[in-house]
């Protein structure tokens, strides 16, 4: 089933045409990777899915972005519920300068999703979902800033999960991590896709090949090719995709 | 952008071409040994097989090394995948040339059971298919692969004709002809198997070039 669909999507930063006529359909509960050289628009595209780009001045968007069939750019679309259902993980882990417990409880508290009595259960469930409970259950009151980077990134994912999203957007989530930590996050993503739709932006093509079900290749604001990952990495249809993934581009 | 990887792929390509030409020569000489009833040529085919075996091992190593270090994708991956499969086929084709030479040695000291008619025709197809499959790879040419693939039916027919004739006209009628008939029957089988391996190579070459699997789906080539 399609979770996110874009139709003739264009984005302009002032007069700069950053996304050009993007049309794609992202399947539910699968991992979709967006690859492409720096500046091709892949982060911009992903940021559209929870309208973070709205915060940037002079951004103009045309076309449609449908999540569960509804255009998220309709004027009456509830932004708070959008950002709750479409969470984002960034390059560098960005835990709040709070305790581990309060990081995870933050979202449910502000969304009034659970009373204080229910929060411990929700925190435990969220930390378990990212395989952190065993490591952190006795350190919940410690500052989230003092745990290893990889655990911080997992914690950020747990923080999203706590508000029960549908979609997880990940913008280079492993670029600050070493290979072992990267592998752990990738394993986690594969587990998480049973419940969530995941869209990942990555510079690491092997990562896209390892974990994603579908891959989109972007170049200069255009979606050049979007297909099953297996197809993209064995027999891409477009010469530009071929040149990029084989390192002949540039 | 030119990559050092391209030089490594080019070296792999050269080694496959080298192996292909050795195999082509082995098949040609095995057939010649039979036609000319020449034991010297047959023995040379058997002795030279070692070079081809060594080349296969070297090519396997090169492919594994490139996969491990370069993690190839797309056309690079298809090329290395094809290289691994082709070398297996080429090595088997060379073994079949050895088999033909061995069959020749088995009957060399006796007069030929009958003049060879269909076996030389089958040998020409086997050699043409071998050459075609290697050419298709070297020139990255789907059309050559396609033309080569079309020869296989004729090879099957000739093999069947040889078998029918040897079994029905000789072995069934006079069992004492079997020691001279069976080696010829096996030669037809070896030649037809060479054609099968050439077919495999052609199918793999099409995949390498187009990224489309035509193995067991040859109708796709007509589209």
Interface of A with B (CB under 8 A): 205-206, 209, 233-236, 241-242, 245-250
**pLDDT recorded at residue A115:** 83
Average of per-residue pLDDT across A179-206: 93
Question: A134-138, long-range: CB within 8 Å, 24+ apart, which pairs?
Answer: A136/A100
Question: Sign of dihedral through CA atoms A240, A243, A245, A247?
Answer: negative
As its CATH architecture, domain A2-95+168-245 has 3-Layer(aba) Sandwich (3.40)
Residues of A in contact with B74 (CB under 8 A): 233-236, 241-242, 245-246
SS3 A75: coil
In this complex, do A242 and B78 lie within 8 Å of one another by their Cβ atoms? Answer: no
**pLDDT recorded at residue B100:** 98
Question: Residue A47: left if φ>0, alpha if ψ -120 to 50, beta else—which one?
Answer: alpha
Average of per-residue pLDDT across A236-248: 94
Residues 6+ apart with CB under 8 A from B60: B84, B87
Distance separating alpha carbons of residues A195 and A60, to the nearest angstrom? 33
Distance separating alpha carbons of residues B33 and B100, to the nearest angstrom? 9
In a 10 Å sphere around its CB, with 0-12 CB exposed, 13-18 middle and 19+ buried, how is residue A145 labelled? middle
**pLDDT recorded at residue A79:** 93
Radius of gyration of chain A measured on its C-alpha atoms? 18
Residue A181 binned pLDDT confidence (cut-offs 50, 70, 90): confident
Q: Name the residue facing B1 among A206, A242, A249 (closest C-beta).
A: A249
CA B150: distance to chain centroid?
Answer: 15
Q: Are A168 and A194 in contact (CB under 8 A)?
A: no
**pLDDT recorded at residue B52:** 97
- CA-CA distances (angstroms) from residue B19 to A115, B24, B42? 74, 9, 19
- CA-CA distances (angstroms) from residue B15 to A142, B21, B49, B92, B94? 61, 10, 16, 17, 16
- Token pair, residue B101, equals 């030479």
**pLDDT recorded at residue A250:** 67
φ and ψ at residue A219, rounded to 5 degrees: -150, 125
In this complex, do B77 and A247 lie within 8 Å of one another by their Cβ atoms? Answer: no
Angle (nearest 5°) at CA B72 between B218 and B80? 45
Q: What rounded mean pLDDT belongs to chain B?
A: 94
Angle (nearest 5°) at CA B140 between B139 and B142? 115
Q: Is the whole model's pTM more than 0.90, yes or no?
A: no
Q: Name the residue facing A206 among B3, B71, B77 (closest C-beta).
A: B71
Low-confidence residues in chain B, pLDDT < 70: 1-2, 222-223
Distance separating alpha carbons of residues A242 and B6, to the nearest angstrom? 14
How many CA atoms within 13 Å lie on the side-chain side of A85?
Answer: 13
Distance separating alpha carbons of residues B199 and B132, to the nearest angstrom? 10
* Matching CATH number, B4-222, of 2.60.120.560, 1.20.58.220, 1.10.580.10, 3.40.50.740: 1.20.58.220
Checking DSSP bridges between strand A31-35 and strand A197-201, what pairing results, if any? parallel
Residue B77 distance to chain A (closest CA, Å): 7
Q: Name the residue facing A246 among B75, B210, B212 (closest C-beta).
A: B75
How many of the other CB atoms lie within 10 Å of CB of A146?
11
Residues of B in contact with A234 (CB under 8 A): 73-74, 77-78, 211
Angle (nearest 5°) at CA B89 between B85 and B93? 170
For testing contact with chain A, the best of B74, B81, B213 (most A CBs within 10 A): B74
Q: Where are the domains of chain A?
A: 2-95+168-245
pLDDT of A78 > 70? The answer is yes
pLDDT tens string A133-153: 999 999 999 999 999 999 999
Interface of B with A (CB under 8 A): 1, 3, 5, 71-78, 210-212
**pLDDT recorded at residue B1:** 66
pLDDT tens string B73-117: 999 999 999 999 999 999 999 999 999 999 999 999 998 898 889
pLDDT tens string A90-127: 989 999 999 999 999 999 999 888 888 899 999 999 99
């Amino acid at each position: 089933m399609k979770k996110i669909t874009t139709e003739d999507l264009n984005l302009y930063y002032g007069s700069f045409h950053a996304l050009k006529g993007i049309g794609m359909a992202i399947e539910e509960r699968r991992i979709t990777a967006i690859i492409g050289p720096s500046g091709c628009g892949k982060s911009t595209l992903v940021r559209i899915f929870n309208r973070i780009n709205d915060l940037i001045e002079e951004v103009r968007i045309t076309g449609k972005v449908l999540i569960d069939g509804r255009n998220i750019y309709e004027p009456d679309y509830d932004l708070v519920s959008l950002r709750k259902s479409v969470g984002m993980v960034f390059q560098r882990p960005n835990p709040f300068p709070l305790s581990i417990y309060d990081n995870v409880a933050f979202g449910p508290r502000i969304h009034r999703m659970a009373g204080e009595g229910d929060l411990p259960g929700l925190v435990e469930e969220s930390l378990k979902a990212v395989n952190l409970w065993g490591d952190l259950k006795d350190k919940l009151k410690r500052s989230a800033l003092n745990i290893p980077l990889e655990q911080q990134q997992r914690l950020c994912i747990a923080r999203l999960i706590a508000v029960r999203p549908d979609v997880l957007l990940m913008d280079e989530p492993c670029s600050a991590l070493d290979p072992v930590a990267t592998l752990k996050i990738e394993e986690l993503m594969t587990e998480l896709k049973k419940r969530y739709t995941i869209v990942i932006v990555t510079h690491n093509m092997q990562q896209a090949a390892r974990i994603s079900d579908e891959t989109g290749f972007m170049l200069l604001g255009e979606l050049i090719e979007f297909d099953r990952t297996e197809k993209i990495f064995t027999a891409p249809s477009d010469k530009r995709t071929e040149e990029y993934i084989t390192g002949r581009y540039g | 952008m030119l990559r050092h990887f391209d030089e490594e792929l080019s070296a792999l390509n050269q080694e496959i071409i080298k192996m292909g030409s050795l195999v082509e020569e082995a098949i040609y000489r095995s057939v010649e040994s039979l036609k000319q009833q020449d034991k010297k040529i047959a023995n040379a085919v058997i002795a030279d097989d070692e070079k081809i075996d060594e080349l296969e091992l070297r090519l396997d190593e090169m492919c594994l090394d490139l996969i491990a270090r370069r993690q190839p994708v797309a056309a690079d991956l298809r090329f290395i995948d094809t290289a691994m499969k082709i070398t297996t086929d080429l090595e088997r084709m060379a073994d079949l040339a050895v088999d033909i030479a061995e069959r020749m040695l088995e009957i060399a000291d006796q007069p030929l059971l009958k003049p060879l008619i269909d076996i030389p025709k089958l040998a020409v197809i086997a050699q043409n298919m071998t050459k075609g499959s290697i050419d298709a790879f070297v020139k990255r040419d789907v059309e050559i692969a396609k033309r080569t693939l079309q020869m296989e039916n004729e090879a099957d027919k000739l093999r069947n004709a040889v078998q029918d004739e040897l079994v029905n006209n000789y072995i069934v009628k006079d069992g004492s002809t079997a020691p001279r008939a069976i080696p010829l029957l096996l030669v037809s089988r070896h030649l037809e198997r060479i054609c099968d391996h050439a077919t495999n190579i052609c199918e793999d070459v099409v995949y390498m070039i187009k990224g489309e699997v035509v193995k067991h789906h040859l109708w796709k080539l007509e589209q």
